[in-house]
Amino acid sequence: MPPRLRLFYSVLTSVLLLIPALALYRELSTRSDIWWTPPTMALSLTESQERVQVYARDRSLGALLDAKQLWIKDEAGSSPLGAHEIRLRFNNWERVRATRLPVLLLYAATCGGGVVLLLLVATGRLAYRGEREPVAA
């Protein structure tokens, strides 16, 4: 392969390799602390019972609230804590990470294949040799 053509294909492969490499970098560099439930969408204690159960001294938080055993002390005095005053936020990072894994593996495989192709083109190992006549025996 002529050097000029080899340079052209090397540059073309490098540019095409940047697409999955930048996407992989973007996916891996995002902050992992942004996956919490927003405060405005926090669930109440009754809505979140299928995902979490909170216990204090081996008693469920719901039972403690129903028995009015949890009190809040503030400037105005103390008052019993109600179930409607408790909101829960969840960290959804595990779910997000599980859904991102196939995409990350695809980007990584594409990057690996692109590097191999770039090395083959840049070193001239992918040169066309032409057809040869069969050797008569």
Answer for the pair 87, 46: CB distance below 8 angstroms, yes or no. no
Task: Say how far apart CA 113 and CA 13 lie, in whole Å.
Answer: 10
**Alpha carbons 113 and 62: distance in angstroms, whole number:** 55
Say which residues have a Cβ less than 8 Å from residue 22's Cβ, sequence separation at least 6: none
User: What are the sequence ranges of the domains in the chain?
Assistant: 1-32+92-130, 37-90
Return all residues near 96 (Cβ < 8 A) that are at least 6 apart.
35
What span, in angstroms and rounded, lies between the C-alpha atoms of 43 and 60?
A: 17
Based on the number of CB atoms within 10 Å of its own CB, is 33 exposed (0-12), middle (13-18) or buried (19 or more)? exposed
Lowest-confidence segment of 78-82, 122-126, 129-133 by average pLDDT: 129-133
Query: Would you say residue 19 has pLDDT above 80?
Result: yes
Task: Tell me the whole-structure pTM to 2 decimals.
Answer: 0.53
DSSP string for 7-29: HHHHHHHHHHHHHHHHHHHHHHH
Average pLDDT in the 50-77 region? 86
pLDDT range class, residue 137, cuts 50, 70, 90: low
Tell me what percent of the residues of the chain surpass a pLDDT of 70: 94
